[in-house]
Amino acid sequence: MSVDLVDRDVLLVGAGKVALRKAQDLLDCGARLRVVAPWFEPGFAKLVGGWTKIERPWTPGDEQGARLVVAATSDPEANRQIYEACAALGILCNVVDVPDLCDFYVPAVARGQGVQISIGTDGAAPSLSAFARRKLLEWIGDGFGDLVQLVARLRAETRARLTLPERERFWKTLDWEEWLARIRRDGPQACEAALRAEIDRQVSATQEPAYEPAARGRVVLVGAGPGHPDLITRMGLRALGRATALVYDRLVSPELLRMVPTSCQLFPVGKKGFEPSFPQSEINALLVQLAREGQFVVRLKGGDPFVFGRGGEEVEACLAAGVAVEVVPGLSSSLAVPAYAGIPITHRGLSRSFAIISGFHADGRAADVPDAETIIVMMPLHSMAGVRDRFLAAGWAADTPCAAVQAGTTAGERVLYSVLATLDQDLQREGLQSPLIVVVGRVAGWAREHAYRPELHTPPHGAAFPNA
Contact 440, 420 (CB under 8 A): yes
**Residues in contact with 352: Cβ distance below 8 Å, sequence separation at least 6, in sequence order:** 346, 373
For residues 184 and 197, state if they share a domain: yes
The per-residue pLDDT for 349 is: 93
For residues 242 and 157, state if they share a domain: no
In a domain, 414, yes or no: yes
Closest CA to 125 of 103, 139, 105: 105
Q: What domain range is 339 assigned to?
A: 334-449
**Residues in contact with 120: Cβ distance below 8 Å, sequence separation at least 6, in sequence order:** 105, 106, 107, 108, 129
Domain boundary among 300, 331, 362: 331
For residues 296 and 246, state if they share a domain: yes
In a domain, 115, yes or no: no
For residues 349 and 441, state if they share a domain: yes
* Distance (Å) of CA 16 to CA 19, 72, 122, 253: 5, 8, 23, 49
Please tell me which residue in 249, 304, 424, 426 is annotated as part of the active site. Answer: 249
In a domain, 70, yes or no: yes
For residues 226 and 327, state if they share a domain: yes
> Which residue ranges in the chain fall short of pLDDT 50?
210-215, 454-468
Please tell me which residue in 28, 103, 172, 271 is annotated as part of the active site. Answer: 271
- Is residue 249 flagged as an active site residue? yes
Q: Report how far residue 101's alpha carbon sits from residue 95's, in angstroms, rounded to the nearest whole number.
A: 6
- Is residue 46 flagged as an active site residue? no
Domain boundary among 331, 356, 380: 331
In a domain, 395, yes or no: yes
What's the chain look like in SS3? CCCCCCCCEEEEECCCHHHHHHHHHHHHCCCEEEEEECCCCHHHHHCCCCEEEEECCCCCCCCCCCCEEEECCCCHHHHHHHHHHHHHHCCEEEECCCHHHECCCCCEEEEECCEEEEECCCCCCHHHHHHHHHHHHHHHHHHHHHHHHHHHHHHHHHCCCCCHHHHHHHHHCCCHHHHHHHHHHHCHHHHHHHHHHHHHHHHHHHHCCCCCHHHCCEEEEEECECCCHHHCCHHHHHHHHHCCEEEECCCCCHHHHCCCCCCCEEEECCCCCCCCCCCHHHHHHHHHHHHHCCCEEEEEECECCCCCCCHHHHHHHHHHCCCEEEEECCCCHHHHHHHHCCCCCCECCCECCEEEEECCCCCCCCCCCCCCCEEEEECCHHHHHHHHHHHHHCCCCCCCEEEEEECCCCCCCEEEEEEHHHHHHHHHHHCCCCCEEEEEEHHHHHHHHCCCCCCCCCCCCCCECCCC
Q: What is the pTM of this model?
A: 0.66
For residues 262 and 304, state if they share a domain: yes
Q: Report how far residue 291's alpha carbon sits from residue 341's, in angstroms, rounded to the nearest whole number.
A: 39
Q: Report how far residue 17's alpha carbon sits from residue 72's, in angstroms, rounded to the nearest whole number.
A: 9
In a domain, 456, yes or no: no
In a domain, 304, yes or no: yes
User: pLDDT tens digits for 105-152?
Assistant: 776 666 666 666 777 666 667 677 778 777 777 767 778 888 888 888
Its sign, for the CA torsion 237, 305, 381, 468, is negative
The per-residue pLDDT for 55 is: 95
For residue 428, the domain's CATH number is 3.30.950.10
For residues 410 and 359, state if they share a domain: yes
In a domain, 119, yes or no: no
For residues 406 and 354, state if they share a domain: yes
For residues 217 and 326, state if they share a domain: yes
In a domain, 1, yes or no: no
Q: Residue 64 pairs with which residues in a beta bridge?
A: none
For residues 180 and 92, state if they share a domain: no
Number of structural domains found in the chain: 4
For residues 321 and 430, state if they share a domain: no
Domain boundary among 106, 141, 168: 106
For residues 218 and 327, state if they share a domain: yes
